[in-house]
Amino acid sequence: MKLETAKQILEKNKEDWEYIAQEFAMSRTSNWPEIEPLINYVKDGDKILDLGCGNGRLYELLKNKNVEYLGVDGCENLIEIAKRRAPTKFMVASALNLPFENQKFDIIFSIAVFHHIPSDLFREQVLKECYRVLKPGGYLILTTWNLWQTKLLFKYKLWPVFFGWRPKNLDWRDTLISWKEKRGIIRRYYHIFTSRELWKLVKNNGFKIIDQYYSKREGSFKSNWTKGHNFVIIAKKQ
């Protein structure tokens, strides 16, 4: 993907999220059950960065723990909604240029964000920023939407992408998925990760992979690639 195209997608992403923020927040009122086991990595006294925090729902799983939480998001309207939970715990910031000193955080959570970042260049830039602000031995806990689920391939008509088709000027396995909003339809950018692709990206940017799996919403919270809701990677800064 050309750099200019990737920058245009970033700008459109921001515009889209500002536009649908209220309706999106109403559709994400509680945490998915498979997120709860990830909280087991949190220890007393940890400094936690919620990267791409949206409306701040992850805070609900952490607010009663002895931790220092901060949620950041590039969408100003979502941050305003998140501040209703706790006014001092959220701020607007770009994942591409985090406004924090080196080695500040013990854990970074990035839940269902990474698939909205266009181009390998910008995805690597985000991972480098995560590595920079994590303490040695700190954890990156990252999930992406699993668009290889059989039901989603049909729901969003993604079979052409599966066989190599892509929208004009985008990369292989890039697609646009409609968000139906009262005022119209927004076509949002997604990159459809394979497990190997995401594993390789994280590993090549300095992290040690601790665990990886497809998550589901019940039982053991683990599934296969045709049914798992999200792909989860738990990595450690070496």
Kindly state whether residue 47 falls inside one of the protein's structural domains: no
Find the CATH number of the domain harbouring 155.
Answer: 3.40.50.150
- For residue 83, being part of any structural domain is answered with yes
- Residue 19 domain-assigned? yes
Residues 6+ apart with CB under 8 A from 219: none
In a domain, 38, yes or no: no
In a domain, 42, yes or no: no
- Work out how many domains the chain is built from and give that number: 1
Q: How many helices (H) and strands (E) does the chain have?
A: 7, 10
**Residue range 109-124, pLDDT digits in tens:** 999 999 999 999 999 9
Q: What is the pLDDT of residues 145-186, one digit of tens each?
A: 988 888 888 787 887 777 777 778 899 899 998 887 666 688
Domain that holds residue 21: 3-28+55-237
Query: What predicted TM-score, i.e. pTM, was given to this entire model?
Result: 0.93
Q: What's the pLDDT tens digit per position in 63-72?
A: 999 999 999 9
217 domain-assigned: yes
* Residue 13, in any domain of the structure: yes
In a domain, 157, yes or no: yes
Distance in angstroms (rounded) separating the CA atoms of residues 183 and 20: 9
Please give the share of the chain, as a percent, with pLDDT higher than 90. 69
Q: Give the list of residues 6+ apart from residue 90 with CB closer than 8 angstroms, or none.
A: 53, 56, 70, 71, 72, 73, 79, 82, 83
